[in-house]
Amino acid sequence: MDKPRSVHWEDALRILKYIKASPGKGLLFKRHGHVEIEVCSHADYAGSKDDRKSTFGYCTYVGGNLVTWHSKKQTTVARSSTLTEYRAMTHATSEVL
């Protein structure tokens, strides 16, 4: 945002108060034609220098807006980079479904 002012800060605080007071409510997207859902996932292979475990993450976008994200160190050591990427893709796909 270019040149934010105190009114913008107040608006952001009002939005955060609303979100805190309404934990059971979700996001509502009105239908205005085609809405694109995009999911990006990525993983490293044996990236942890301590135990050689991999880390994966994914982001979900709806209409170009980030709505969910997750990052986690895997619990087991992967045998290949392909397996690591498949695990990341599996977690990302289950988030969308």
Residue 7 identity (one-letter amino acid): V
Q: In what order do the strands lie in the sheet with 55-62?
A: 37-43, 55-62, 65-73
pLDDT at 47 over 70: yes
Task: List the chain domain ranges.
Answer: 28-96
Query: Is the pLDDT reported for residue 34 higher than 70?
Result: yes
pLDDT at 40: 93
At 68-96, the pLDDT tens digits run: 899 999 888 888 889 889 888 998 998 88
Q: At residue 39, does pLDDT exceed 90?
A: yes
pLDDT(32) > 80: no
Q: In this structure, what is the dihedral angle of CA atoms 89, 26, 37, 40, given to the nearest 10 degrees?
A: -30
pLDDT at 60: 92
pLDDT at 27: 67
pTM of the model: 0.61
